[in-house]
Amino acid sequence: MTELLERPQSALPEPVPVQVTRPDRGKLLRFLGHRPGLVLSLLMVAFVLVAAFAPGLLAPGDPGVGDTAERLQPPSPAHIFGTDYLGRDVWTRVVHGASLSLQATVIAVAVALVIGGLIGLLAGFVRGWLDDLLMRVVDVLLAIPAVLLSLALITALGYGTVKVAIAVGVASVASFARVMRAETLRVRQATYVEAAYAVGTRWYVTLWRHVLPNAAGPVAVLAVLEFGLAILAVSALSFLGYGAPPPAPEWGSLVAEGRNYLAVAWWLCALPGLTIAATVLAVNRISRALDGEWRRFR
Amino acid sequence: MNAAALVRYVLRRIGLAIAVLWAAFTVSFIVLYLMPGDPVATMAGGGLDGEPLTPAELDALRARYGLDQPLIVQYGQHLWNALHGDFGTSVQSGQDVRAAIAEALPPTLQIATAGLVVAIVGGTALAVVATFTRVRWLKQALLGLPSLAVSLPVFWVGLMLVQIFSFGLRLFPSVGAEGPASLVLPAITLGLPTGALVAQVLAKSLDQTLTEPYVTTARAKGVGRAAIHLRHALRNAAIPALTVLGYVVGNLLAGSVVVETVFTRPGIGRLTVAAVGVQDIPLVQGIVVFAAVVFVLVNLVVDLTYPLLDPRIATGATA
Amino acid sequence: MTSLLQVEDLRVSYGGVLGELQAVDGVSLTVEPGEVVAVVGESGSGKSTLAMAVLGLLPGTGRIDGGRVVLDGQELTGLSEREMRAVRGHRIGLVPQDPTVSLNPVTRIGDQVAEVLRVHGLADRRTAELEAIALLEKAGLPDAQVRARQYPHQLSGGMRQRVLIAIAIAANPKLIIADEPTSALDATVQRRILDHLDLLTRTSGTSVLLITHDLGVAADRADRIIVMSQGKVVEEGPVQQILEDPRDPYTQRLVASAPGLRPVPPPAPLPPGHPLVEVTDLVKEYRLPGRRTLRAVDGVSFTIGRGETLGLVGESGSGKSTIARLLLRLVEPTSGRIVLDGDDITRVRGKAARALRRRAQLVYQNPYASLDPRFSIEEVVTEPLRAFNVGTRAEQKARAAQLIDRVALPASVLRRRPAELSGGQRQRVAIARALALSPDLVVCDEPVSALDVSVQAQVLDLLRELQAEQGLAYLFISHDLAVVRSIAHRVGVLQHGQLVELRPTEQLYSAPEHPYTVELLAAVAGQGSTRREPVGTGKALP
């Protein structure tokens, strides 16, 4: 049964292999055509990127200035996300908040990816006592919930967007290290790596040419996934009030500001929160697409 | 497993647990005391807002907390005290750290337990139904729920629940910790991400288990679908889910930070927020080590549960 | 006389992203009461799909598109799941493919056997337990009483297959479908299990539909053989006729390439000369938990001459793959001496160890795993040249093209990735890589056991040709005695890490001395057909 699905072409006489061409544009369109959710996710991420780098394009107003005469207006064509207690346009604040929130997320993922990746690669490739030592450290980091570890770092470092980002990044080092190590180990034990040794390839060439490229895939998938988690973690810390000081708009702190008006102005919490959720959902959907969906389709 | 092997196994587990706790203490010490910045200045600055201390007062504070000693001596002193269960006193309140945690624990334990029940029951039910149903759209919809749930910010979910069920439908109170009704919304908020993880792992594991050759053997015997699902597959599939559960139970504790803030409940979470807010280093360290203790205990329970589920683990040592 | 099982024009397809795949394409066959019918075919021929379709257990996207399956006068196609359940296990028993994964790991053996009786209402809780023990005994499981209380992982592969046989016969079905029942087991175990299954079904008059890729097994066990290829039945007939007078060209090739049936005369031993490899008292120990050690290789000595093929045979765990790795210094020997062309290479390190790589190469068992999936075939073949900086890039490319041509592959494969090639083609690529540096010795570790028999024959031919052209020496490791016989000049037999016999091929096969060799040779499938009575006599049933 499985044999049949794996190599349907193997029969007598030895068959001409199935011609597999490089992915062309038609194929990509067909792939996306069957996945409206993925298209939506890509659009969402593109939208957030525009908001982060050129917020003026989407919301020309000033996020810090409001008209108190128009305070606590529900969503309307003039203010599609409504206005807050100072009459500021919530849509403008959400768009301008993307920049700070995204900046923190990128820093967090970069910190986790670089430190965790190096630890994992080293542990998986060198093995021996170094592996044991590094993995024990990673185990301990896993034993402390990420939020608490981040909070401990914030206690030491203080408040601010960048510090929150570093705190979130360090707290995710462990999961990157584990995945990178597992992948390195898996690839290292692959027969083709032993075959490379057997034909006389040097270890550093093997590491560079065989181990890294084959181990990188799952780590890249994790990095995208971690992006979503980092958005959540950063906004949670910002919600608790450890991020940029007001009145700077950050996604988490926008929700926190709206909390006091929950009973009278639902949109103050609901819409910025929905933006966060939609972004994370989009990122997770893309991560799933990268994780084999495209490969299986080809 | 014979008696000697069992003793060795238990001793190893305990040794490992102690090592993890020691390491957690060390990591938190490094983070809190070795990071750039002067702990006394931060503690004093946070504790006594707006009243700058004189250098003499700062020195006095340093001496009181032993911060004038070399770091290694400080570390040894702290570790020695910690071994006796003494994590110092809170800078802010002057209360013993251990007492502060013990006092804040019961309400947190309530919502954490309730959240765990929500997570396990909800997650398992969803995974079992999603993998059992042959209605395609239902399966797709159910399997989509967990990835939706883990994408939602916890604080936002809590606020939305309050909006709908407290202000809208007036079913449950929005704040406080009185009575079982006040437990419902926090438990759902807290259990949602954990339950989603359980559902995800269990559903994947069940789907995979159902393609195993031994399931084909069972079907070839003429065993019905429901019996195969519950009797053959679920027990085999539970093991990865249990492992994940061991790792994420700590998240319930961490989640209390946000949930208790949203619902204005007393507990470990609120204590943590307050401690971080005033940079109360001894208290934060106490909480971090406490979280590690919880993690170690939970995983000890998980490890002891494995052999009940999988005989290969129980007899594997001697087979 | 009505047939027990009647399959008429059955068509099964799998739907997938790649489009429809017609796995079974208009197959008709019958199984008479008490008859053993073998369905033979290579992987992808649709034989397993056929078996599962009869049971109504098609995996995933499988679907019956047309045709009928009739059991004992009752049509099975179109029965509801509930009605089908009453058939499975009760009227048709299944002996599945791989015993190591076909039993539920968390349930006791006895309970798994008893479950058949319980679901079909043939026994209650208490009697089912007792009956399960009796069934296990009947299936030839020693200490059935004790074993019934154990879990699958505490039993060997052969014992587990006996448990599965007990499950299959529990409800006294009239038909047993055996889907490659022993291909995951060692040859000697395989023979004992099949003998026992034979005994059980012949005494009870149970029909057997035996699915196998091994024409030898089919010839030994079946009354009638049905040959399948690409979803169709290409030939059908009594065993004797298929073996001696195959009509269809596919069957002819299958019979010709089945190593057990038509042994190619082995190559004559070479005149003694200065040996290329001398191995003396080689020992490899692995440390196990609890201060025990495992002697994987236990004092093995042999030589290989230039241009000679030394075959090493043994069952799994006999240490044959470890010897391959020791010889190439991929594993450190515990003691002993390895001399290659006069140089002691037992402990060489650094430069000298790398120099060894130019002279001795390895071809792996699994061509799916031994090629980096991200490399193009050209990169795979030139990797050894790059490692030793042989020639310019253009020269390396030219050499790759030459090597690919040498192993009879079209030049167009150079730009492909391994995943785009078939198993046989990949193994040719692996051989081309091994030859890139013009080594003296090539160690072949089960080089053909992952391939279908017809592809096997082609790869073996290639190895023989290359040896004749370049004077290569081979250390040829295999569990398959028939394959080794067709290629090796001399053969060594390994048991528990010890070389129990080492002699020229013809002598070893015609007059084995060591009892273990005798047992191994007796277990080779495909010899029975010449010994057994012509089929059909003596068991014609009403």
Does the beta-carbon distance from A148 to B151 stay under 8 Å?
A: no
Q: What is the pLDDT of residue A224?
A: 85
Q: Is B137 on the interface with A (CB under 8 A)?
A: no
Q: Is residue C110 part of a domain?
A: yes
Q: Which of A148, A158, A262 sits opposite B159 (nearest CB)?
A: A262
Average pLDDT over residues C188-192: 84
Q: Is residue C134 part of a domain?
A: yes
Q: Is residue A30 part of a domain?
A: no
Q: What is the pLDDT of residue C91?
A: 93
Cα–Cα distance between B60 and B56 in angstroms, integer? 6
Q: Which of C92, C105, C120 sits opposite B236 (nearest CB)?
A: C105
CB pairs under 8 A between B and C: 84
**One domain, residues C288 and C194:** no
Q: What is the pLDDT of residue A212?
A: 84
What would the pLDDT profile of C127-186 be if each residue is shown by its tens digit?
A: 999 999 999 998 888 888 989 999 998 888 888 999 999 999 999 999 999 998 877 778
Q: Which CATH class is domain B97-277?
A: mainly alpha
State the pTM of this model.
0.79
Domain interval for residue A149: 38-53+82-297
Domain interval for residue C226: 5-257
Q: Is residue C535 part of a domain?
A: no
Cα–Cα distance between C87 and B286 in angstroms, integer? 64
Q: What is the pLDDT of residue A50?
A: 86
Does the beta-carbon distance from A18 to C420 stay under 8 Å?
A: yes
What DSSP state is assigned to residue B165? I
Q: Chain B closest CA to A212's CA: distance in Å?
A: 28
- What lies within 8 Å, CB to CB, of B65 at 6+ separation is B39, B40, B43, B88
Phi and psi (nearest 5°) for C112? -70, -35
**One domain, residues C391 and C489:** yes
Task: Quote the number of domains for chain A.
Answer: 1
Does the beta-carbon distance from B312 to C101 stay under 8 Å?
A: no
Cα–Cα distance between B299 and B249 in angstroms, integer? 9
In what helix (H) or strand (E) does residue C135 lie, and over which residues does it extend?
helix C125-138
Residues 243-282 of B with CB under 8 A from A: 247, 250-251, 253-255, 257-258, 261-262, 272-273, 275-277, 279-281
Sign of CA dihedral C418, C424, C425, C429: positive
Phi and psi (nearest 5°) for C26? 75, 55
Q: By C-alpha distance, which of C467, C412, C176, C446 is closest to C323?
A: C446
Report helix, strand or coil for B267.
coil
What would the pLDDT profile of C210-227 be if each residue is shown by its tens digit?
A: 999 888 888 888 999 999
* Strand partners for B96: B89
Q: Chain C closest CA to A297's CA: distance in Å?
A: 7
Cα–Cα distance between C377 and C368 in angstroms, integer? 13
CATH of the domain at C11: 3.40.50.300
Q: What is the pLDDT of residue C260?
A: 62
pLDDT above 70 covers what percent of chain C? Answer: 93
Task: Quote the number of domains for chain C.
Answer: 2
Q: Is residue C299 part of a domain?
A: yes
Q: What is the pLDDT of residue B115?
A: 93
**One domain, residues C335 and C226:** no
Please provide the DSSP assignment of A181-218 as one string.
HHHHHHHHTSHHHHHHHHTT--HHHHIIIIIHHHHHHH
Question: Which tokens in the block code for residue A278?
Answer: 């939609």
**One domain, residues C327 and C475:** yes
Which class for C534: exposed (0-12), middle (13-18), buried (19 or more C-beta within 10 A)?
Answer: exposed
Check: CB of residue A215 under 8 Å from CB of residue B233: no
Does the beta-carbon distance from C105 to B216 stay under 8 Å?
A: no
The answer to whether residue C540 scores a pLDDT higher than 70 is: no
Range in A84-88, A148-152, C262-266, C323-327 with the lowest mean pLDDT: C262-266
Question: Residue C94: pLDDT band by 50, 70, 90 thresholds?
Answer: very high
Report helix, strand or coil for C164.
helix
Q: Is residue C534 part of a domain?
A: no
Q: What is the pLDDT of residue A6?
A: 33
Question: Which tokens in the block code for residue B304?
Answer: 């002891």
Cα–Cα distance between A262 and A264 in angstroms, integer? 6
**One domain, residues C298 and C245:** no
Q: Which residue of chain C has the CA closest to B224?
A: C85
Does the beta-carbon distance from A277 to B156 stay under 8 Å?
A: yes
What DSSP state is assigned to residue C293? E
Interface test with C, best of A6, A7, A10 (most C CBs within 10 A): A10
R_g of chain C, CA atoms, integer Å: 26
- Strands lying side by side in the sheet with C74-75: C21-31, C5-14, C62-71, C74-75
Crossing angle of helices B39-47 and B55-64, rounded to 10°:
110
Longest dimension (CA), chain A: 83
Bridge pairing between strands C473-478 and C441-445: parallel
For chain B, residues with pLDDT lower than 50 are 1, 46-49, 316-319
* Cα separation values, C419 from B161, B240, C46, Å: 51, 31, 22
Q: Is A208 on the interface with C (CB under 8 A)?
A: no
CB atoms near residue A24 (< 10 Å):
9
Report domain extents, chain B: 3-83, 97-277
Q: What is the mean pLDDT of chain C?
A: 85
* Strand partners for C504: C490
Q: Is residue C271 part of a domain?
A: no
Sign of CA dihedral B66, B71, B76, B78: positive
Q: By C-alpha distance, which of C54, C97, C13 is closest to B216?
A: C97
The CA angle C479-C485-C488, to the nearest 5 degrees, is: 95
What DSSP state is assigned to residue B174? S
For chain A, residues with pLDDT lower than 70 are 1-25, 292-298
End-to-end CA distance of chain C: 7
CATH of the domain at A275: 1.10.3720.10
The answer to whether residue C356 scores a pLDDT higher than 50 is: yes
In what helix (H) or strand (E) does residue C271 lie, and over which residues does it extend?
none
Q: Is residue A189 part of a domain?
A: yes
**One domain, residues C331 and C412:** yes
State the number of CA atoms in the 13 A half-sphere of C210 facing the CB.
30
**One domain, residues C203 and C292:** no
**One domain, residues C135 and C196:** yes
Q: Is residue C540 part of a domain?
A: no
With the CA atoms of C350, C352, C353 and C356 taken in that order, what torsion angle do they form, in degrees rounded to the nearest 10? 160
**One domain, residues C113 and C239:** yes
With the CA atoms of B79, B82, B88 and B90 taken in that order, what torsion angle do they form, in degrees rounded to the nearest 10? 110
**One domain, residues C44 and C140:** yes
Cα–Cα distance between A122 and A236 in angstroms, integer? 32
R_g of chain B, CA atoms, integer Å: 24
